[in-house]
Structure 1
Amino acid sequence: MTIAVKESVSRESSSIYINRDLSWIEFNWRVLEEAQDPSTPLLERVKFLSIVSSNLDEFMSVRVAGIKDQLKAGYLKKDFTGYTPAGLLKRIMKRATKLVSEQYKTFREISRLLAKEGLIFTDYESLTASQRKAMDSYYHDIIFPVLTPMAVDQSRPFPLVHTQAVYLAVVLRLDGEDEGEEPYFAIVQVPSNLPRHIAVPTRSNSKKQEYILMEDLITQHIHTLFSGYTPIAVHGFRITRNADLTLNEEGAEDLLEEIEKELRRRRWGAPVRLEVQQGIHPYALEVLQEEFELTEHIFEIDGPLDLTYLMKWAGSLTGFEHLRYPPVEPEYPKELLDTDDVFEKLRETDVLVYHPYESFDAVTDFICQAAYDPKVLAIKMTLYRVSGNSPLIQALARAAESGKQVTVVVELKARFDEERNIAWARKLEQAGCHVVYGLVGLKTHAKITLVVRQEEDGLRRYVHVGTGNYNDNTAKLYTDIGLFTADTVIGEDASALFNEITGYSSPHEWQAFGVAPTDMKDKLFALIRREAEHAAAGRKAHIIAKLNSLSNQQMVDELYAASQAGVKIDLIVRGVCCLRPGVEGLSENITVRSIVDRFLEHSRIIYFENGGDPELYLSSADWMTRNLTRRIELICPVFNDRLQQELIRILQLSLHDNVKARILQPNGMYARVETQEEPLRSQFKAMKIGSWKHGRVKRQTSHEA
């Protein structure tokens, strides 16, 4: 598609697109802003700091690793946003370095505020004599037996350094040896199975709780590991490796075994980033650079390495509830509350469930009732990411053991959850479930359950379609939507979808669904073009899309074309957005907003005005190339008028948020909403169960916001 653009659209970038990876860094800045926000409860700010680190770890190990692979392969071509791999990598590292610097500045500020609350991060030198004695005992009794000093010399090659683990680089001198001799070098891994922050016994007449980092304690006692040597310097370091799996699915006789092999290879992935403690000894840095073959992309950290540990630390504290968000108790969906038979209720009406404000127990109960109901003949389900002790797995196993036909599509390639999914796959197979690992070259990302039940008037299908994973833990932290329905058309499409995944079936003529990679993109394009036709004819034309990411060039071009045709387009995109809104002659009819708040915005909802006859869809897919072309995804229409109104109100909540929403500017940067209106914080408003089910969206008082 050719996009007509006036020459005057030039802004900070000459491209009409925003680069995906640079857009992602801007997203992580928004996460960091939540850690900096004084209105965010203090321990929640600590958690946001941790999330910034975990986000950056994954970004480096996957996205940056991929760019480095391109450079290694000699790939010089520009991407559609105008960046070569070399130019993009340089820009990424510049922005990431600034981000990390700001993150640790924030960490120091939060540490000062925690100290005022009686939670003190201290060091060994600041302890009293009695506290030191207690910590000495802790080191000798608990830490020392676990440590393994690993020397590096001619007879002992550099040991395996695990990705994202914290190590100490130790520079030593042999006792009695001349200072001019080359020093000795060793590394010590900081145990990851012990608490990183160690609680120090309280001082007399004090209620303040002090914590010392385990690596600080090891550093103070490093001489106990190297008798006959004098430690010259001890500094922390951390390596990030390429974590992207490279699978030969077609040549793999057993995909499960192939992924297990790749997981073992991941430990040896090429180094991507080296983090070192500020002030590291020059000899130690030289040795590490030589071993990891990194002359750049080295981050000097002014503070503790790897702030991801803060999440566990903050979660373990008791007695500081005033420093957290008030707990949210999800309500059980009212439509399902007064019935013992979910199938009877679904024969009457469809039901929409909005997590985390409404309980995920409704989904669990649906699967459990199906597992125990003697009239249920078959259960088919996709599993992408499940929790560590998922009740759904137990229910599916029980159903199979009772003789029901249970088919589970387990996605073994769900990044960083591969090992857990392998374990679930084996357990389900042992229980008698038919376990399918999807189609070669495609991740199964659709979230759908099909229950086939024998009833008096024949077989009936019951379907659950969701925007998020079947994970009871993340359902408390992510905003997601699930649709329960007994609609005949949706049921028939659900059966056809599972038949395509598990058997040999030609692409289906979908009645309701749009399914990637075969026809979802074309269906979405057709719906967008239909809005453009409505606008051209003077009819109502409006698109609202709530997504996690938008990075597919063709999709961006379609939205640009619709904007030029006069379609009003409101995009609610939490993370990456490659579309540049508000550009004269191109996208002046498009707004893009991102909401980063207490819960991770994860629901995917699409609204088409359709000339006054609105259509609404739920989707498992973001508008990224991988979702549209390399994954099994689905969009599902919501037919029920009442549920359509509920979805519209959810969208309106996001569009009216003026507390946590940021608006994407034409230059690729984000700005908070500036308004004189009363504050409205969409997630807090949604906590008032029913705000999206009844009436219009009302603004909150300052107190409510």
Structure 2
Amino acid sequence: MLPLPPADVEPSLYALSQPAPPPLHGRGATPDSLALGMAQQMFLDRDHSILAFNERVFDWAVRADIPLLERLRYLCIVSSNLDEFFEVRAAPHITAAQKGETKGPYTVASFEALSAKVHDLVARQYTLYNETLVPAFGKHGVRIVSHGDRSPEQKRWVHAYFTREVRPLLIPVGLDPAHPFPQVANKSLNFIVRLKGRDTFGRENEIAIVKVPRALPRLVRMPIRAAPREALFVSLSSIVRAHLEDLFPGREVTEFSQFRVTRHSDLALDEEDVRNLRTALRQGLQHRHYGQAVRLEVSADCSAFLSDFLLGQFGLPAAALYRVHGPVNLVRLNQLVDLVNDPALLFAPWNCAWPRQLQPGVPIMEQLRLRDILIHQPFESFDGLLAFLREAVNDPQVLVIKQTIYRTGADSKFMDLLTEAVRRGKEVMAVVELKARFDEEANINWAEALESIGAQVVYGVVGLKTHAKMLLVTRREGRQLRRYGHLSTGNYNVRTARLYTDLGYLTADAQTTADMDDVFNHLASQNRPPKLRKLMLAPFHLQRRMLEKIEQIGLAAGRGEDARIVAKMNALTDEALMRALILAGQRGARIDLIVRGACMLAAQVPGVTENIRVRSVIGRFLEHTRVFYFRAGAQEDLYLSSADWMNRNMMRRVELAWPVTDPGLRQQIVDECLVAYLHDDRDAWTLNADGTYDRAPRPENGLGAQAALMLRYGPVPAVARIEPGAQP
């Protein structure tokens, strides 16, 4: 790819301004040929597209050029993603299979096709783990020692550990009419055991269940090793497995297997019938771990008798059974990364730079009075934003601080600063999204903590998730009040700010900050949405404005003008936007979509989407920026947003998009978030018409977009530049 220009080199003002290919008119395709049915046929299956994304993540675990512990980390990420896929997406497929559905969006056939793909991916995960990663770890002296490979001294140590740490927490349950099958929590580790002989009361209850508490570590380092530099570990499942007979004295264990059940875990509440959303959600969290069963994982050698018994208990079809050659929860192997912590087996540490546009030692609000400031994470430090909020908290002239809270984490510096602001007598308003999936409990706790000290806490709009990311500070300056704002494509989460690529936009622009204040007031009062000057707000304006922009580009292309759309996002599933893109492409607009995850728009279909290309970039950091670029002739517009082009974001969430009008900042975003990714020949994948992806060629001197950005922002000076007129 073309390297990024250094900060002191003026890049091409129109790096994306390239002649569009000839329009499709006269080649058998015209805009009139785009019937609704044809557009519908261009939509790929969303669930299969999600699995395709995980295939691309899995490739990082396969790649030999990736450090060994990082390969294990990516393997665990795939497993974690699959867990969430089953927890959120699998229930209607399972229900269709149970009912024998043959018509509709979910059928037995669609369930079986999806299951076949998941089974194949899971099988390749365990093959990679057992045949590649485990031997590679062994060469580095890192081993997870199974019971059969332990020395007598190691077995004695494991037995002592079991007796001291594990056995007191286990409660084996023999099944009989008085002891029915116990409630098994979502994704918990359990054992099923088949016993021979009679119990104390003379009954032949042959099945027992052993639930393993989550409080126990899944990997334990053994102090006994054969070589000085060895790092030996034992898994909790292996410890329990080796001592099952100790749990059933006088009985013979004839069969056993570890097992893990995944349950539907997406909370569903009728908010119109809920008086207190926070209380209702807290009650709902108690039941999340025991939702509908959607997947059963067992050991590869589990007998048909035991697996059939478990399938019957959970009411699952045979295709929902996954036999695995290893631990039933690969996600927990992520602990090995921290336990080994060998720098030679990890990525070189990335120390993000202080934001270049923030001048140290000068008050940030003073700088914002002169210009807007962009922070590109994680290449630049999130500490710049924390410094902005800290400055506001400590400034006696700051009267009001307002912030949206979606995912901040359980340990949040933002929450600490907001708490301090309340203590200093400032008005603090927090819009806390209680329904942020799998972060509900942390957000409920923060809401209660802020309310308890006097902050104004609101929960957004009934029926919608507040996904917009904004922070607004109001300061008294002489006889007037001035606002300073921060808008972001990502969350106010210090941990993920080091792992996700996002753009933060600091501004004192009067119209933008007035819009932000209007949105905060709308969320608090739930009055009619205001007429905004610069911001676009979902679910009211955002989709319509994006459709209008796409149509304008399509019409310009139809007039023979040079027309261009480049959009970067995490997912593309909104049918209205996809139909608009297809039509614009048929009119001759050249369209590039950079979509990290699920993309339902089939690209490069002859005669229909020939002018649309879709790329996916999977890198060291999770791609999270949302950037939308439109150009017709010499007129170009660029927007940043908290929203993906998904129906849920456009219609069921409070989202924001905002224009970037400063030419320098706009060009920086074009160079760093669009041009770099369109020329990535290391970490990019290209979507084919059939929904499959081809990886980039990866030449020896290839450079991924993220690596180029690290060079640009890192300590090594970047000397190359994007030449004016470079092909994007």
- Map of 2:419 onto structure 1: 397
After TM superposition, give the deviation of residue 401 of structure 1 in Å: 2.0
Shift of 1:206: 4.2
What amino acid is the match of 2:245? H
Task: Decide which of 327, 344, 352 is 1:330's aligned counterpart.
Answer: 352
Distance 2:474 2:311 in 1: 59
2: CA distance, partners of 1:430 / 1:693? 50
Compare 674-683 and 516-525 and name the one that shifted more.
Answer: 674-683
CA distance in 2, matches of 1:252, 1:697: 56
Aligned sequence identity (%): 36
Structure-1 separation of matches of 2:40 and 2:651: 28
State the match for 1:513 in structure 2.
535
CA offset digits 1:584-638 (Å, max 9, x no partner): 2211111100011111001111111132122111110011110011000011111
Structure 1 residues 64-96: Cα deviation after superposition (integer angstroms, max 9, x where no partner): 124445677998764xxxx54443322211110
Equivalent-residue separation in structure 1 for 2:199 and 2:527 (angstroms): 77
1:578 match: 600
The separation in 2 between residues aligned to 1:310 and 1:363, in whole angstroms, is 34
Structure-2 separation of matches of 1:192 and 1:170: 20
| Counterpart residue identity of residue 283, structure 1 | F
Corresponding residue of 1:302: 325
User: What CA distance in whole angstroms lies between the structure 1 residues aligned with 2:65 and 2:247?
Assistant: 46
Q: Which residue, out of 707, 714, 718, partners 1:684?
A: 707
1:41 corresponding residue in structure 2: 67
Hey, what does 2:257 align to over in structure 1?
Answer: 235
Task: Report the Cα distance in structure 1 between the residues aligned to 2:96 and 2:426, rounded to whole angstroms.
Answer: 49
CA displacement, residues 651-691 of structure 1 (integer Å, 9 cap, x when unaligned): 11111100000000111100012376941211111112449
- Residue 67 and residue 629 in structure 1: after superposition, are their counterparts in 2 closer, same or farther (change >3 A)? farther
Match of 1:614 in 2: 636
Change (3 A) 1:74 1:693: farther
Match of 1:106 among 125, 128, 135: 128
CA–CA distance in structure 1, aligned partners of residues 246 and 565 of structure 2? 66
How far apart, CA to CA, are the structure 1 residues paired with 2:99 and 2:389? 48
| Partner secondary structure for residue 21 of structure 1 | helix
Over the aligned positions, Cα root-mean-square deviation in angstroms equals 2.5
Return the letter of the residue paired with 1:560.
Answer: I
Q: Is the 8 A contact 1:649 1:696 kept in 2?
A: no
Q: Report the CA distance between 1:159 and its aligned residue.
A: 1.1
- Summarize the Cα distance change of 1:46–1:644 in structure 2 as closer, same or farther, 3 Å threshold: same
In the other structure, the counterpart of 1:666 is 689
Output the CA distance in 2 between the equivalents of 1:694 and 1:616: 27
- Higher-RCO chain (CA-CA 8 Å, sequence separation at least 6): 2
Pick the aligned partner of 1:58 from 59, 73, 84.
84
Change in 2 beyond 3 A, CA 1:618/1:241: same
Taking the TM superposition and a 5 Å limit, the aligned residue runs for 1:150-549 are: 150-174=173-197, 184-296=206-318, 297-318=320-341, 320-456=342-478, 458-549=480-571
Q: Is the 8 A contact 2:681 2:699 kept in 1?
A: no
Offset of residue 388 of structure 1: 2.1
State the 1:457 CA deviation. Answer: 5.3
What amino acid does structure 1 have at the position aligned with 2:85? F
Amino acid at match of 2:66: T
Equivalent position SS for 1:426: helix
Look up the match of 1:702. none
Give the whole-Å Cα distance in 2 for the aligned partners of 1:647 and 1:243. 37
Flag the 1:536–1:237 CA change in 2: closer, same or farther, 3 A: same
State the secondary structure of the residue aligned to 2:114: helix
Residues 271 and 554 (structure 1 numbering): CA distance in 2 closer, same or farther, change over 3 Å? Answer: same
1:341 and 1:33, CA in 2 relative to 1: closer, same or farther beyond 3 A?
same
What secondary structure sits across from 2:133 in the alignment? helix
Taking structure 1 as reference, are residues 129 and 422 closer, same or farther at Cα in structure 2, changes over 3 Å only? same
**Distance across 1 between alignment mates of 2:668 and 2:676:** 11
**Structure 1 stretch displaced more, 608-617 or 585-594:** 608-617
Aligned-partner Cα distance in 2 for 1:106–1:493: 51
Distance in 2 (CA, whole Å) between partners of 1:677 and 1:611 is: 37
Matched, 1:118 2:141: yes
Change (3 A) 1:226 1:516: same
Distance 1:47 1:321 in 2: 14
CA contact (8 A) 1:333 1:359 kept: yes
Match in the other structure for 1:32:
58
The answer to whether the 8 Å contact 1:6/1:584 transfers is: no
Does the Cα contact within 8 Å between 1:167 and 1:190 map onto a contact in 2? yes
Contact residue 27 and residue 576 of structure 1 kept, 8 A: yes
Taking a change above 3 Å as real, the CA distance of residues 71 and 539 of structure 1, as seen in their structure-2 partners, is same
Contact map agreement 1:165 1:192 (CA 8 A) in 2: yes
The more displaced of 84-93 and 651-660 is 84-93
Work out whether residues 100 and 108 of structure 2, in 8 Å CA contact, stay in contact via their aligned partners in 1: no
- Structure 1 residues 349, 74: CA separation in 2 closer, same or farther (over 3 Å shift)? farther
- Determine if the alignment matches structure 1 residue 554 to structure 2 residue 576: yes
State the AA in 1 paired with 2:82: L
- Whether 1:605 and 2:627 are equivalent positions in the alignment is yes
Letter aligned with residue 532 of structure 1: G
Aligned length: 688
Q: Quick one: distance in 2 between partners of 1:84 and 1:521? A: 28
Aligned-partner Cα distance in 2 for 1:68–1:515:
36
Would you say the 8 A contact 1:397–1:432 is kept in 2?
A: no
- Name the amino acid aligned to 1:658: D
Contact 1:331 1:689 in 2 (8 A): no
Measured at CA, do residues 312 and 337 of structure 1 come closer, stay the same or move farther in structure 2, by a change above 3 Å? farther
* 1:137-163 Cα distance to aligned partner (Å, 9 max, x none): 111111111212122211111111000
| C-alpha displacement of 1:334 | 2.3
Q: What do residues 221-261 of structure 1 show as CA deviations (whole Å, max 9, x unaligned)?
A: 11221122111122110001110111021111110000011
The 3 A distance-change label for structure 1 pair 677 and 112 is closer
Structure 2: gaps (5+ residues): 1-29
Q: 2:93, 2:106 within 8 Å by CA — same for their partners in 1?
A: no
Whether the 8 Å CA contact 2:486–2:507 is kept in 1: the answer is yes
Q: Could you report, residue by residue, the CA deviation over 1:562-591 in whole angstroms, capped at 9, with x for unpaired residues?
A: 101111111100000000111122111111
1:97 to 119, 128, 138: 119
Work out whether 1:128 is the aligned partner of 2:128. no
Distance in 1 between the 2:369 and 2:96 partners? Answer: 54
User: What is the one-letter code of the residue matched to 1:246?
Assistant: A
Distance 1:521 1:677, change over 3 A: farther
Q: Is the 8 A contact 2:432 2:443 kept in 1?
A: yes
